[in-house]
Structure 1
Amino acid sequence: MIKAGDPRSLGVPSSEARLHFGTELQELGGGPRRRLLMVGDEPAFELSFYCGTCPLLFRRLETASEKVSLESMQERLTGALDDPDDRGVIDAFGALLPEGEYLPLLLSVEPRLITPGKEGDYFSGEQVTTWGIDQFWGLPEYPHTPYYRTFETAVDADAHLYEFVVPMVPPTWNERERVKEYVALMEQGTVPTAVAISTLDVCQPALGLGDDPSAHWGLTHFLLDGHHKLEAAATAGRPVLLLSLLTLGESLAGAEDCARLPALRARPRSARATGT
């Protein structure tokens, strides 16, 4: 954690926003409607279900095929920002977002690229420990995308914070030469800045299907700018700055939970003990 700004109103009407949140439309008599992150008119990610007792989720959908960024900000974001209330950057990206209240956070992250089902995967690790496997499929949740793990810490004895950075498209779609350029810059001491719209979802199981019934606070950053930077940082083992615009109205967390986030994110990193 470097700095936190004050909550502020950003964005344009949802119908005009490049990126917005929505609920899936279903026919009469259909099942529960999915909570979605939309890019234009297309659903890009399925998010944690509204009930708050289902497992934490960010699942990339087949229609997620575009990055969301502003090319005009590339040069400015190559260097480090020092103020989460930098109005030029925030307002520029705010033009992409649905109107609402956002909490700006400037974070230092050291990303670790995770492949679902392999070492370090939250969905087949910590989530299974708490929720067990999916009762229908007999498998862990599957996000359908590689993602980055960056931070975790205890909230209290019964809750743990997990932080993720989610690319809008897989890292394999990145341009190899641009990744190499950023790796070279980082090895010379440059700390680039990425930008994300973020959600805080607080989820806790209602049924004792797992071994650890603790609540999971999922701080999930969806990249607006920085796909090449995050991959380069993970490759080089270097930090990158992340300007997070946390949506307060679309998160599955109360106002008090969101208000605690800057202090929680400033704590030392701490993995959750297992077998308790």
Structure 2
Amino acid sequence: MIEAGRPRRLGVPAPDARLRFEAERRETGGGPGRRLLTVDGEPAFELSFWCGTCPFLFRRLPTAQQTLSLKGIGEHLTGPLADLDDGGVIAAFGALLPEGEYLPLLLRVEPRRVVPGGDGDYFGGEQVATWGLDQFWGLPEYPHTPYYRTFDTAVDASAHLYEFVVPMVPPTWNDRERVAEYVDLMARGTVPTAVAVSTLDVCEPAIGPGSDHYRHWGLTHFLLDGHHKLEAAATAGRPVQLLSLLALGEGLAESGDCARLPDLRAQPRSARSARSARGARGARSA
């Protein structure tokens, strides 16, 4: 299930936004440094490097210690939103964000919790198959947080879409009673709503040291509200609704790539297959 709106102008002037996308400047050479997601002026996540040939990345930083839930809006999110304009939720959360163009997406997700280095870890699996291990550390990229995998599908033979929901704080910080309340609520058929600001990064190595060279489309939803709901859904194997505000122009993707997301997200879920890998290698050698 997906409902997509039209891009709309949201947000407040950047200095007044609680959440911002920023780029550090290197002390020497003046070139771009890390891409960051900041909360209340503190770096919260390091994002994929700007070049687009480095591995896709979201990495929680030590100063990521708070969520962005809003008082007075929770009653609209206990169940599913009827549409993208239900209850003024977009306007309310848009006021947390820097002024810009955002594509609203209303998704139904079935989250699966992943621990870095454990079963299903993208960074130790699909990413290593394309980029290989980090040449300095000899290890996979490490996001420093558990996260949720929710969807993946083929873009074409040489590209694959991976979707992630990333909590602002670790699930271990969640209140156990609230998680249990949502588990019970979901068992009775309720599908609550979570809210996220999202980015799309399209990354491909210039030279593929791994066995499966292709473009990785990383659709990352950073949770603004719904940390307890996502953990409960992953625990109970139940779906949640996710209101995504995709920040256009803040990811490593062309506008045409972002425009394709609603159609791609409506496709059947499919993992990267051996046939796709062979097809991508054949296309490179042709």
- Shared fold (TM-score, shorter chain, > 0.5): yes
- Closer, same or farther: CA 140–7 of 1 in aligned 2, 3 Å: same
- Name the structure 1 match of 2:282: none
- Name the structure 2 match of 1:111: 111
- How far apart in 2 are the matches of 1:68 and 1:226? 10
Q: How far has the Cα of 1:71 moved from its partner? A: 2.1
Q: Say how many residue pairs are matched.
A: 276
* TM-score in terms of structure 1 length: 0.97
Identity %: 75
Q: Which moved more, 1:44-53 or 1:266-275?
A: 266-275
Q: 1:9-62: CA deviations, max 9, x gaps?
A: 000011000001001244234885000000011000000011111100000001
- How far apart in 2 are the matches of 1:55 and 1:31? 19
Structure 1 residue identity aligned to 2:212: D
- Name the structure 2 match of 1:250: 250
In the alignment, is residue 163 of structure 1 matched against residue 166 of structure 2? no
- How far apart in 2 are the matches of 1:87 and 1:56? 35
SS in structure 1 at match of 2:224: strand
Q: 1:141-173: CA deviations, max 9, x gaps?
A: 000000000000000010000000000000000
5+ residue gaps, structure 2, are: 279-286
- How far apart in 2 are the matches of 1:167 and 1:191? 19
- How far apart in 2 are the matches of 1:110 and 1:189? 14
- Name the structure 2 match of 1:272: 272
- How far apart in 2 are the matches of 1:42 and 1:56? 22
Q: CA RMSD for the aligned pairs?
A: 1.2
Is the CA contact (8 Å cut-off) linking 2:198 and 2:247 kept in structure 1? yes
Is the CA contact (8 Å cut-off) linking 1:5 and 1:85 kept in structure 2? no
Correspondence 1:1-276 to 2 at 5 A: 1-29=1-29, 33-86=33-86, 88-274=88-274, 276=278
Q: How far has the Cα of 1:69 moved from its partner? A: 1.5
Is the CA contact (8 Å cut-off) linking 1:47 and 1:58 kept in structure 2? yes
Is the CA contact (8 Å cut-off) linking 2:76 and 2:87 kept in structure 1? no
Structure 2 residue identity aligned to 1:91: A
- How far apart in 2 are the matches of 1:242 and 1:160? 21
Q: How far has the Cα of 1:87 moved from its partner? A: 6.5
Is the CA contact (8 Å cut-off) linking 1:193 and 1:242 kept in structure 2? yes
5+ residue gaps, structure 1, are: none
- How far apart in 2 are the matches of 1:137 and 1:85? 47
Q: How far has the Cα of 1:82 moved from its partner? A: 2.0
Q: How far has the Cα of 1:204 moved from its partner? A: 0.6
SS in structure 2 at match of 1:71: coil
* TM-score in terms of structure 2 length: 0.94
- How far apart in 2 are the matches of 1:85 and 1:194? 15
Is the CA contact (8 Å cut-off) linking 2:48 and 2:57 kept in structure 1? yes
- Closer, same or farther: CA 161–176 of 1 in aligned 2, 3 Å: same
Structure 2 residue identity aligned to 1:41: G
Structure 1 residue identity aligned to 2:204: Q
- How far apart in 2 are the matches of 1:228 and 1:202? 29
Q: How far has the Cα of 1:76 moved from its partner? A: 1.0
